[in-house]
């Protein structure tokens, strides 16, 4: 796989240098690989921290800013940040009212965020954790015990981020984050695999004309390989898997049609129309839809569908102003 | 090439349906393939229209909204919109003060926009045209007589769009657009080719380990094929080609590091840091930098660098509020 890099071992710090140059509103600590708001966290506001392996850009550093994260810890590609990084992000995000960790359910992330939370506690920073495990495709995989965390991470970061700006307390934000997780489900397919920089082979082999169904976000294998379907068929498979897990009824939903990195926006928009139709056919109303590359897997071609059941409060928090590199509206 | 589509012949209308569902603030005429602002153009404001072949998303429909375009005409993939489409977009964008056409320099676009301008004139709508030809790589190509229009199209649409909101007149906006073109240069490389939906082969053949230097945005061949370089080398080649054409001195510049569709954001950020360094080494100051997929070529992997020499007025217009699906800040 041809990549646009210098030394593959420097991919993450090199990318963080580019992020910093394009976004002076961020404070980027290239050495610690921690990104936070240049202005810091407002005193009295709960800090919101996420992080994980790199290779999923714009997640998480691209979601640092008003109405979303206070800091992100960026691990090596597809590798959890170490506890010291998470601790540094937690300190950067602390405004004296505690810090909430948003953690995707991968074994390394869970362990390292837990250790960082204990270290932060020794520092006198109270930490609560929301675990995101929205992917209905598989339980247990190369990287996980239990379900994987994917697109719903964005939902949690946006909704809880808005609530944190409004002054909610640490425990309230943790409960809200868990509610968003509980209301969210995701499922995706890949039309091509991806290769970690410096590696000489992709995460799985895919014959031409076939797709991997039920993918994760690390290029790991999914449920099965089948002949490539049309956008309409892929929408039916994805929405069907989501509805099999948690029936879609008469509620209002937020839908993310997320590109995995190498999918043209033209194709994502085609899929979005079919996903919209598939969700509505099941009786739910799509009241908000986001289409683009938000949680990626390097140069994987494919898409992941995430659905969150809304209520009036969640809709209001979703619509609240946000100003980050990758998500921005309302101010 | 595996694509996420239904019938390839329906790719553009299918994608427009998805765009409309995700963006209720746009008026999408799927039949005419014209996208405009749902609220129409403010009476007395000059309308700003662009368009061209599809396959370059988010260009142009993703730039319709406050502070940028009033309407976009979406042709078939890599094919100019027909005059009737451009006329429909011109009518949709007309607020009684004339309409400015922003046209990338491809033979089909130039002819069809010219014909539409004549038809609009018969309707009593005054039209001026700004031709964008910023790509320094080649003169004359598969699609063009003269230089091709690429990344600077975004600069023109943003700067002129801001000035139109401020109430500038048609002739003033045309002069401003031409000034932005004159101040802008672009150059890009591809690490992979792309295939038009329904076609069975890519626009050029690329051996593994080689890159196409001096690409256009239609998957057409560029200057030459050479062994793949590092991000630092690619930055040096691109910035060097731009500076060879118009020397970079002590001025302030805006830089776009644009992904061509299948390039991971991680890689674009790495390149951005090297492009920043290469521009600064030549004595210019990078005061604004935009990194992401803005002018794409389907699933092509690669990147294009665009540089615009700023002055105080252009910087202010670049920073002015914009609210479109793909570019949004300041309000």
A202-234 pLDDT, tens digit per residue, is 988 898 899 999 998 888 888 899 999 999 999
**What residues of chain A lie within 8 A of the CB of B17, using their CB?**
269, 273
> 3-state class of B198 per DSSP?
coil
**What residues of chain B lie within 8 A of the CB of A237, using their CB?**
none
Active site residues of A: 56, 218
- Judge whether B35 is closer than 8 Å to chain A, CB to CB: no
* Pair A156, A132: CB distance under 8 Å: yes
Q: Which residue has the tokens 């603030």?
A: B25
Under an 8 A CB cutoff, do B77 and A266 touch? yes
Q: What is the per-residue pLDDT for A6?
A: 97
**Closest Cα in chain B to A298:** B264
Nearest by CB: B269 against A15, A77, A232? A15
Q: What is the per-residue pLDDT for B263?
A: 97
Under an 8 A CB cutoff, do B230 and A293 touch? no
> Which of B23, B56, B66, B101 does the annotation list as catalytic?
B56
Give the C-alpha distances (Å, rounded to integers) separating B96 from A3, A250, B27, B41, B170.
50, 45, 19, 9, 11
Under an 8 A CB cutoff, do A266 and B231 touch? no
Across the range B299-315, mean pLDDT stands at 97
- Judge whether B30 is closer than 8 Å to chain A, CB to CB: no
Residue-wise pLDDT tens digits, A143-167: 777 899 999 999 999 999 999 999 9
Look over chain B and give the mean of its residue pLDDT values, rounded to a whole number.
Answer: 96
> 3-state class of A265 per DSSP?
helix
A329: closest CA of chain B, how far (Å): 7
* b/e B187-200 (16+ beta carbons within 10 angstroms → b): bbbbbbbbbbbeee
> 3-state class of A19 per DSSP?
helix
Under an 8 A CB cutoff, do B57 and A269 touch? yes
The residue among A53, A215, A234, A266 with the most chain B CBs within 10 A of its CB, best to mutate, is A266
**What residues of chain B lie within 8 A of the CB of A55, using their CB?**
264, 266
**Closest Cα in chain A to B12:** A266
* b/e A175-212 (16+ beta carbons within 10 angstroms → b): ebbbbbbebbbbbbbbbbbbbbbeeeebbbebeeeebb
Nearest by CB: B266 against A191, A209, A298? A298
Q: What is the per-residue pLDDT for A331?
A: 60
Across the range B124-138, mean pLDDT stands at 95
Under an 8 A CB cutoff, do A270 and B11 touch? yes
* Pair B48, B99: CB distance under 8 Å: yes
Under an 8 A CB cutoff, do A293 and B293 touch? yes
**What residues of chain B lie within 8 A of the CB of A262, using their CB?**
261-264, 299, 301
Per-residue pLDDT at B226 exceeds 70? yes
pLDDT class for A302, splitting at 50, 70, 90? Answer: very high
Nearest by CB: B18 against A55, A262, A270? A270
Under an 8 A CB cutoff, do B261 and A262 touch? yes
Per-residue pLDDT at B203 exceeds 80? yes
How far is A157 from A163, CA to CA, in rounded Å? 10
**Which of B149, B134, B94 minimizes the C-alpha distance to B117?**
B94
Domain segments of chain A: what residues? Answer: 9-183, 184-309
Under an 8 A CB cutoff, do A57 and B298 touch? no
Percent of chain B beyond pLDDT 90? 90
For the domain with range A184-309, which CATH number is right: 3.30.1180.20, 3.40.50.720, 1.20.1250.20, 1.20.1300.10? Answer: 3.30.1180.20
Nearest by CB: B228 against A2, A54, A264? A2
pLDDT class for B40, splitting at 50, 70, 90? Answer: very high
Percent of chain B beyond pLDDT 70? 99
In this chain, the answer to whether the domains covering B9-183 and B184-309 adopt an identical fold is no
Under an 8 A CB cutoff, do B286 and A209 touch? no
Q: Which residue has the tokens 């209301």?
A: A183
Q: What is the per-residue pLDDT for A112?
A: 98
For the domain with range A9-183, which CATH number is right: 3.40.720.10, 3.40.50.10440, 3.10.310.10, 3.30.360.10? Answer: 3.40.50.10440
Q: Which of residues 179-238 of A touch B (CB under 8 A)?
A: 191-192, 208-209, 211, 228, 230-232, 234
Under an 8 A CB cutoff, do A269 and B18 touch? yes
- B234 Cβ contact list (under 8 Å, min separation 6): A4, B189, B211, B271, B274, B303
Under an 8 A CB cutoff, do A264 and B264 touch? no
Per-residue pLDDT at A1 exceeds 90? no
**What residues of chain A lie within 8 A of the CB of B321, using their CB?**
none
Q: Residues A55, B300, B213, B216: is their CA dihedral positive or negative?
A: negative
Binning chain B into helix, strand and coil, the percentages to the nearest 5 are 35, 25, 40
Per-residue pLDDT at B331 exceeds 90? no
pTM of the model: 0.97
pLDDT top residue among A8 and B208: A8
- Judge whether B250 is closer than 8 Å to chain A, CB to CB: no
Across the range B116-124, mean pLDDT stands at 98
Q: What is the per-residue pLDDT for B208?
A: 85
Nearest by CB: B234 against A4, A17, A55? A4
Report CA dihedral (A299, A303, A304, A308) to the nearest 10 degrees.
Answer: 120
Residue-wise pLDDT tens digits, A218-274: 888 888 999 999 999 999 999 999 999 999 989 999 999 999 999 999 999 999 999
End-to-end CA distance of chain A: 40
Q: Where are the alpha helices (DSSP H) in chain B?
A: 11-22, 83-93, 107-122, 152-165, 170-182, 231-245, 265-281, 312-319
Across the range A170-193, mean pLDDT stands at 97
B205: closest CA of chain A, how far (Å): 15
pLDDT top residue among B222 and A185: A185
Q: Residue A23 has which token pair?
A: 């976004």
DSSP string, B31-95: TTTEEEETT-PPTTSPEEEEEEEESSTTTTGGGBSBTSBSEEEEEEETSPPPHHHHHHHHHHH--
Look over chain A and give the mean of its residue pLDDT values, rounded to a whole number.
Answer: 96
Per-residue pLDDT at B300 exceeds 80? yes
Strand A252-259 and strand A285-292: the pairing is parallel
Nearest by CB: A228 against B2, B14, B298? B2
Percent of chain A beyond pLDDT 90? 90
- Judge whether B263 is closer than 8 Å to chain A, CB to CB: yes
* Pair B261, B299: CB distance under 8 Å: yes
Size of interface A-B (CB pairs under 8 A): 195
Q: What is the per-residue pLDDT for B1?
A: 66
Q: Residue B127 has which token pair?
A: 């039209």
Q: What is the per-residue pLDDT for A171?
A: 98
Residue-wise pLDDT tens digits, A130-147: 999 999 998 777 777 789
**What residues of chain A lie within 8 A of the CB of B274, using their CB?**
6
How far is A286 from A318, CA to CA, in rounded Å? 14
Nearest by CB: B232 against A6, A15, A262? A6
Give the C-alpha distances (Å, rounded to integers) separating B286 from A16, A310, B248, B279, B292.
17, 43, 11, 7, 17
**Which of A58, A64, A113 minimizes the C-alpha distance to A90?**
A113
How far is A295 from A303, CA to CA, in rounded Å? 10
- Judge whether B302 is closer than 8 Å to chain A, CB to CB: yes
ipTM over 0.95: yes
Residue-wise pLDDT tens digits, A90-123: 999 999 999 999 999 999 999 999 999 999 999 9
CB atoms inside a 10 Å sphere around CB A230: 16
B218 is a catalytic site residue: yes
How far is A81 from A32, CA to CA, in rounded Å? 10
> 3-state class of A212 per DSSP?
strand
How far is A321 from B27, CA to CA, in rounded Å? 23
Nearest by CB: B14 against A5, A22, A270? A270
How far is A122 from A112, CA to CA, in rounded Å? 16
How far is A184 from A248, CA to CA, in rounded Å? 11
Across the range B53-75, mean pLDDT stands at 98
- Judge whether B277 is closer than 8 Å to chain A, CB to CB: no
- Judge whether A3 is closer than 8 Å to chain B, CB to CB: yes
**What residues of chain A lie within 8 A of the CB of B270, using their CB?**
4-6, 11, 14-15, 18
How far is B69 from B230, CA to CA, in rounded Å? 36
Q: What is the per-residue pLDDT for B280?
A: 97
- Judge whether A6 is closer than 8 Å to chain B, CB to CB: yes
* Pair A78, A55: CB distance under 8 Å: yes
**Using alpha carbons only, what angle is made at residue B170 by residues B167 and B175, rounded to the nearest 5 degrees?**
105
How far is B89 from B73, CA to CA, in rounded Å? 6
Give the DSSP H/E element, type plus range, for residue A138. Answer: none
């Amino acid at each position: 796989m041809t990549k646009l890099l210098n030394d593959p071992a420097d991919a993450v710090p090199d990318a963080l240098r580019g992020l910093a140059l394009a976004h002076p509103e961020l404070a980027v600590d290239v050495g610690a690989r921690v990104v936070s708001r240049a202005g810091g966290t407002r005193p009295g506001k709960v800090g919101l921290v996420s992080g994980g392996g790199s290779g999923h850009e714009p997640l998480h550093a691209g979601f640092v800013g008003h109405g979303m994260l206070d800091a992100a810890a960026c691990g090596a590609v597809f590798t959890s940040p170490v506890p010291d990084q998470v601790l540094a992000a937690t300190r950067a995000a602390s405004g004296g009212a505690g810090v909430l960790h948003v953690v995707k359910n991968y074994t390394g992330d869970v362990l390292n965020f837990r250790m960082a939370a204990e270290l932060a506690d020794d520092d006198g920073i109270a930490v609560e954790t929301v675990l995101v495990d929205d992917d209905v495709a598989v339980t247990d995989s190369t990287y996980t015990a239990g379900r994987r965390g994917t697109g719903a991470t964005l939902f949690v970061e946006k909704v809880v981020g808005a609530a944190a700006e409004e002054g909610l307390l640490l425990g309230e934000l943790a409960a809200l984050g868990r509610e968003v997780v509980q209301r969210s489900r995701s499922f995706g397919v890949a039309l091509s695999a991806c290769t970690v920089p410096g590696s000489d082979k992709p995460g799985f082999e895919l014959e031409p004309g076939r797709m991997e169904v039920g993918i994760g976000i690390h290029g790991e294998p999914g449920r099965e390989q089948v002949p490539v379907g049309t956008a309409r068929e892929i929408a039916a498979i994805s929405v069907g898997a989501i509805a099999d897990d948690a029936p879609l009824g008469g509620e209002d939903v937020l839908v993310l049609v997320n590109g995995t990195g190498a999918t043209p926006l033209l194709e994502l928009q085609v899929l979005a129309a079919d996903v919209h139709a598939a969700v509505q056919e099941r009786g739910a109303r799509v009241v908000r839809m986001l289409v683009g590359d938000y949680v990626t897997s390097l140069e994987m071609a494919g898409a992941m569908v995430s659905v969150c059941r809304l209520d009036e409060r969640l809709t209001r928090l979703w619509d609240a102003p946000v100003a980050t590199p990758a998500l921005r509206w309302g101010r």
